[in-house]
Amino acid sequence: MKSQLCRTRTACAVFVVVLLSMFGFPLTSWSADQLVLFRNATTGNKKDNVSISPYGANLVVALVVPGTKGETEAELKSLLGYDGDIGNLVSSLKIKEYAKEGSPLKTATSLWIQKDFNILPDFVDTVKKNFAAKVEQVDFQSNPGNACASINEWVDQNTNSKIKTLFDEVDPSNRVIAVSAIYFFDEWLNKFNKQQTQEDDFALPNGENKKVKMMRNRNASLRYGKDANSQWIELPYKTKGVSAVVILPDKGTELSEVVAKLTQDNFDGTFRTLKKQLLDVKLPRFEVEYKTSLRSALSRAGVKKIFSHDADFTGITPSRNLVVSDVLQKVFIKVDESGTEAAAATGLSIRTTSLDITKPKEFYVDRPFIFIVREGGNILFASAITKP
């Protein structure tokens, strides 16, 4: 197969999304399991922090949908839990509303096209119309270094410098790179008092303890609940409808056991049972930068055609010779006493085929935990934190 690829003229497209969440606009919820990629991405990883953006992955898939047809399109729509035209899909994402002046959420999209590449005008028009994309011509073939620098500079500017370098390099065989940049910062509705932050022990997966900066709120009225093997709390942000959910496995329960059972139905069902209670909360500060390939996670979620030579990207170019080589996601998330700041970049590369009590209840996050940022029915970020 490799030798065949080398003998053909290569045409590539890379689709990239840079996302930061915690925004207050109502979104139409995805009907599919938004946590499937999180479960798949954490499989076999018991020692390292894992952080992905399910919403970011959904957004990059939505960006690709107009360029696909047949079974390829059907698989992507199935992942999104969506069936309809692109206009309805984009409306549910509220991309144009986020771009309005005064919005706390900053969004931008762009399309970088190789000079003289035979890209279908309808695809360009659809991306411009629905994603408000900036369209630029570059020369991947003759000057990939300049093309790479231009894209990285644009990403840096549109993510408040949280994603400085999305690409280390771009291959000269690239023909299209589509980028969507989104950035947002939100503060806790009830901030942690910095004077109460102190060093405390955090139990690592290997049994050792690590000293961490542990934030504390001794009298927090928060929604709290339990499921079969974990405790949950909801930490609201100032923006209405936006919150973080902290899931703490019971002592003696592996984090991986909780993640494995964290389906969308389980999350939604348990979340609905949470009730206000007076809590004494300890939560470590943490900052995570994480980069991973989502190819395997997507394949296990049923998205397979785009990675095979049966892929149908004839909505991008007439020749049916494009295939996705990888889907990369880069995530930044920072949690401190004030709130949360996060960003995620997802790249999809296409090449040629070839409860209430008087005394506060203790909720001490002193062992590996799950940190989920949600808006309405959407899972924006999902992190498995083993080493804050």
Give the residue-averaged pLDDT of 138-153.
91
Give the residue-averaged pLDDT of 304-315.
90
CA dist., res. 314 & res. 278, Å (int): 57
Cβ contact 279:222 at 8 Å: yes
Helices 54-64 and 70-80 cross at an angle (nearest 10°) of 150
Length, in residues, of the chain: 388
For residue 349, what pLDDT is reported? 65
Say which CATH class 189-285+357-385 falls into. mainly beta
pLDDT at 112 over 50: yes
pLDDT at 105 over 70: no
For residue 351, what pLDDT is reported? 63
- Residue 100 — pLDDT band, cuts 50, 70, 90? low
- Segment 158-200, tens digit of pLDDT: 788 888 888 888 878 777 777 767 676 789 999 999 999 999 9
Q: What mean pLDDT is reported for the chain? A: 81
CA dist., res. 323 & res. 12, Å (int): 8
- Percent of the chain predicted with pLDDT > 90: 40
CA dist., res. 74 & res. 83, Å (int): 8
CA dist., res. 3 & res. 6, Å (int): 5
Rounded to two decimals, the pTM is: 0.84
Listed in sequence order, the residues at least 6 apart from 204 whose beta carbon sits closer than 8 Å to its beta carbon are 210, 368, 386, 387
For residue 271, what pLDDT is reported? 96
Cβ contact 110:127 at 8 Å: no
What CATH architecture is 2-186+287-352? 2-Layer Sandwich (3.30)
- Residue 104 — pLDDT band, cuts 50, 70, 90? low
HSE-CB of 335 using CA atoms within 13 angstroms = 28
Q: Where are the beta strands (DSSP E) in the chain?
A: 12-19, 50-52, 106-114, 133-138, 174-187, 198-203, 209-226, 230-236, 242-249, 275-284, 286-293, 322-335, 339-352, 361-364, 369-375, 378-385
For residue 355, what pLDDT is reported? 43
122 or 80, higher pLDDT? 122
Q: Which of 365, 8, 55 is nearest to 200 (CA)?
A: 365
* Tokens at 93, concatenated: 């994402």
Query: Exposure string (b/e) for 361-380, b if CB count within 10 Å is 16 or more?
Result: bebebbbbbbbbbbbebbbb
pLDDT at 263 over 90: yes
Helices 86-93 and 121-131 cross at an angle (nearest 10°) of 30
Question: Which residues on adjacent β-strands are paired with residue 276?
Answer: 223
pLDDT at 238 over 70: yes
The CA angle 37-39-42, to the nearest 5 degrees, is 105
pLDDT at 61 over 70: yes
Domain ranges of the chain: 2-186+287-352, 189-285+357-385
- Segment 275-305, tens digit of pLDDT: 999 999 999 999 998 888 889 999 999 999 9
For residue 132, what pLDDT is reported? 76
Cβ contact 351:323 at 8 Å: yes
pLDDT at 84 over 80: no
Element at 42 (helix H, strand E): helix 36-42
